[in-house]
Amino acid sequence: MNNNETAPHLIDAATNHDSLHTISSTTSAWDEVAAIISGLIGGGRYGLKIRIPHAFVMTFLFGNKLPFRRKLQVIAKLAAEHSINLASFACLYKFLLASLKVLSRLIPQNDGSGGAPVHSGILRRLIKSVVSMVINGPFSSSLKRTLNPSVSTPAGIPQHPYHAFLAGAVGGYIVWGRYSSVNYQLILYLSSRILVGCIKLAREKGIRPFSWKKLKFANSYPYGAAVIWGTV
C-alpha cells in the first residue's frame, strides 16, 4: 500500500473516471452488480427453503392451542423474516466486498503525485494510516508484498481475507444485530459451527490435545454427544 495517500485524495480519486476505468479493467462493475443481485436472490430463496419446513414442524408440534389460520400466519412470518434477513445480509455483504475491492485498488494507484506535498503533516499521516488500516486491515503492508495486483479477483469474492471479516461484521451488526427468535437461533447455530471449525483447525495445525490420535472424530464424537446431551 502506498503511504502517500490521504483521505481527501482518496475521495477525489473515487470520483475520477480514469481511475475507475483502470480499476474496473479486470473485473467490470456490472460483474459486481450481478454478484450483488445474485446474493440477494439466492439469500432470499435459501432462507425460504430452510425456514418453511422448520417453522411448519415447530409450529404444528408446539402450537397445538393456536387456530389453523394463526399457525399459517406464524409460519409465514418466520419464513419471511429469515428470507428477508438472509437476502439483506447477502446483498450488503457483496456490496461491501465490491466497495472494499475498489478502495483497496485505488489506494496503491494514487501515489499523491498530483501536486500533493511529499512531506505531509502528522495529521495527514494519521488519517492515511487509519484509512489504510480500515480498508485493508492491520497487515496491509504484508498483503501488498504477497498479493499480485495484476491478478483479477472474481466478482463477489473478497480480495483480502480481512475484507470478508469486515463485510461480515458490518452486515452482522446491521442485519442480525436486532434480537428475534430467528436471529438468535442462527447466532447459536453459527457459534457451534465456529467452535467445531476451530477444533478442526487446531487439529490440522497439530495443537495438542486436539491432534492426539485418540481424539479422532470417530473416537471422540460419542463422548462429545454424551457431554452435550448430559448438560442439556
- pLDDT greater at residue 136 or residue 2: 136
Whole-number average pLDDT of the chain = 77
pLDDT digits (tens, 9 = 90+) for 165-190: 999 999 999 999 999 999 999 999 99
In this model, does residue 162 exceed pLDDT 60? yes
The predicted model gives 74-92 an average pLDDT of 95
The predicted model gives 44-62 an average pLDDT of 92
pLDDT of 27 reads 63
| Three state DSSP letters for the chain | CCCCCCHHHHHHHHCCHHHHHHHCCCCCHHHHHHHHHHHHHHHHHHHHHHHHHHHHHHHHHHCCCCCHHHHHHHHHHHHHHHHHHHHHHHHHHHHHHHHHHHHHHHHHHCCCCCCCCCCCCHHHHHHHHHHHHHHHCCCHHHHHHHCCCCCCCCCCCCCCHHHHHHHHHHHHHHHCCCCCHHHHHHHHHHHHHHHHHHHHHHHHCCCCCCCCHHHCHHHHHHHHHHHHHHHC
pLDDT of 214 reads 75
pTM above 0.85, yes or no: no
pLDDT band at 21 (very low <50, low <70, confident <90, very high): very low
pLDDT of 223 reads 83
